[in-house]
């Protein structure tokens, strides 16, 4: 019965064992829901934290492709319309210049570039969809203490001593994945030495559903438009400065954020809690091992400037799930070396170019020395006057394929 499984019933033998009940892990589980396979999702948090995730400050950019996938998975239907903010346009600003490079939705065939949805809202909707799937079992409040694999099975031992055998283990925990480490897979990490503070602020001047990426001198600011005259504000600074902002009384904080945004949004008022995250990107050196695969941030932890982290996670998960379902239909091995290798090559081709390009852009646009300032200014000016470039950027953000 469905009710039994959500109270902690344990399946000793499963087909696919997913580690991590975040958005990527739950979406991947739902992709396999009608495959006839037995799916179990492990999560270290208590179930209430999965069912009713707390606000964490993060707003997720959703492309049209990702929105279509979420509708097909029955996840989008669990999200209230008021929680979905259309992202019509985007602008990139540099330093104190008043002009910006605008990426316009009119350069595409869509009424908007995409959508913005809070991470906690996506998590709650994905949980609701997965909970209704009888082939998926959730095991909350557990962690993995050991994992071994051979040509026939993957064997996992939990912190409570219980053991599970699976044909395939998929890690979807986070960019600092403990499961990845247990499998001996290394990852290339880059610590930018900065911290991001995120919060929601109401402001007097209408954002017109336009996102900002402002590479100001000494700071990077982002504005993600939300419904109701509010925006998600992202400020990237050295950790010590972020700590000061986090501890600042609300009225003083409001005034400082107004000033940091050059008063371009008028009066600004904090309407949420504040959250801080270290700016660290991760690219796993391998995405697969014997009867094991990485998806989501466990495979690629993108720089937030791309706004594509979750979209890449969904694309990779969809590719892997499609291959698994095809193998299952043919009574073939769902974790064969060929299947996993094909997924790895696909996901590397899809993610590595933008991951590398983002690092180069981030280094140039966070460098305040004169040569970098000249390059920054010139590149934005040239980009603003190249319609093909702007259309390409708009189509990449829209991703309607």
Q: What sign for the dihedral angle of Cα 315, 317, 320, 321?
A: negative
Tokens of 156: 């996992």
Q: What sign for the dihedral angle of Cα 185, 186, 188, 191?
A: positive
CA distances 391 to 104, 178, 270, 384, Å, are 8, 40, 35, 11
Please give the Cα distance from 80 to 32 (Å, whole number). Answer: 25
**Residue pair 338/193 in contact by the 8 Å Cβ criterion:** no
Q: What sign for the dihedral angle of Cα 74, 75, 78, 83?
A: negative
Which stretch of DSSP H or E encloses residue 395?
helix 387-398
**Residue pair 225/211 in contact by the 8 Å Cβ criterion:** yes
Nearest to 159 by CA among 176, 127, 182: 182
For the chain, which residues make up each domain, given as ranges? 2-55+119-188+281-360
Fold classification of 2-55+119-188+281-360 is: FAD/NAD(P)-binding domain (3.50.50)
Q: Give 301's strand partners.
A: 282
19 Cβ partners below 8 Å, 6+ apart?
25, 41, 42, 144, 169, 170, 171, 172, 173, 179
Please give the Cα distance from 259 to 239 (Å, whole number). Answer: 20
pLDDT at 399: 54
pLDDT tens across the length of the chain (401 residues): 333 343 344 448 999 999 999 999 999 999 999 999 999 999 999 999 999 999 999 999 999 999 999 999 999 999 999 999 999 888 877 765 556 666 655 555 577 788 999 999 999 999 999 999 999 999 999 999 999 999 999 999 999 989 999 999 999 999 999 999 999 999 999 998 999 999 999 999 999 999 888 877 788 899 999 998 999 999 999 999 999 999 999 999 999 999 999 999 999 999 999 999 999 999 999 999 999 999 999 999 988 765 678 999 999 999 999 999 999 999 999 999 999 999 999 999 999 988 887 766 666 545 555 454 544 554 555 455 445 443 444 444 445 45
Please give the Cα distance from 324 to 32 (Å, whole number). Answer: 8
pLDDT at 102: 62
């Amino acid at each position: 019965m469905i009710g039994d499984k959500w109270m902690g019933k344990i399946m000793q033998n499963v087909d696919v064992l997913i580690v991590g009940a975040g958005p990527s892990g739950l979406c991947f589980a739902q992709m396999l829901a009608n495959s006839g396979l037995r799916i179990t999702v492990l999560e270290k948090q208590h179930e209430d934290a999965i069912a009713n995730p707390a606000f964490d400050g993060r707003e997720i950019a959703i492309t049209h492709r990702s929105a279509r996938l979420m509708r097909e998975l029955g996840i989008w239907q669990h999200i209230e319309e008021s929680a979905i903010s259309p992202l019509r346009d985007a602008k990139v600003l540099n330093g104190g210049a008043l002009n910006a490079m605008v990426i316009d939705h009119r350069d595409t065939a869509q009424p908007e570039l995409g959508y913005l949805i809070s991470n906690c809202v996506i998590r709650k909707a994905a949980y609701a969809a997965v909970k209704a799937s009888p082939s998926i079992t959730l095991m909350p409040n557990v962690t993995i203490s050991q994992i071994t694999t051979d040509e026939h099975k993957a064997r996992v031992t939990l912190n409570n001593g219980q053991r599970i055998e699976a044909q395939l283990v998929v890690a979807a925990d986070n960019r600092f994945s403990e499961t990845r480490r247990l499998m001996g897979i290394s990852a290339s990490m880059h610590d930018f030495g900065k911290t991001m503070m995120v919060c929601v602020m109401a402001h007097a001047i209408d954002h017109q559903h336009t996102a900002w990426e402002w590479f100001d001198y000494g700071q990077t600011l982002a504005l993600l438009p939300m419904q109701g005259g509010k925006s998600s504000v992202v400020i990237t600074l050295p950790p010590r400065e972020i700590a000061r902002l986090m501890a600042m009384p609300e009225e003083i904080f409001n005034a400082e954020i107004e000033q940091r945004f050059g008063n371009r949004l008028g009066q600004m008022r904090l309407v949420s809690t504040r959250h801080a995250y270290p700016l660290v990107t991760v690219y796993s050196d391998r995405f697969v091992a014997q009867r094991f695969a990485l998806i989501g941030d466990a495979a690629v932890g993108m720089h937030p400037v791309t706004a594509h982290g979750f979209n890449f996670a969904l694309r990779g998960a969809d590719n892997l799930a499609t291959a698994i379902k095809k193998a299952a239909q043919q009574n073939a091995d769902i974790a064969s070396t060929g299947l996993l290798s094909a997924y790895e090559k696909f996901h590397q081709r899809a993610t590595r170019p933008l991951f590398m390009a983002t690092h180069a852009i981030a280094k140039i646009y966070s460098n305040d020395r004169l040569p970098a300032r000249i390059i920054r200014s010139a590149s934005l000016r040239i980009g603003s006057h190249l319609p093909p470039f702007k259309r390409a950027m708009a189509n990449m953000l829209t991703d309607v394929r």
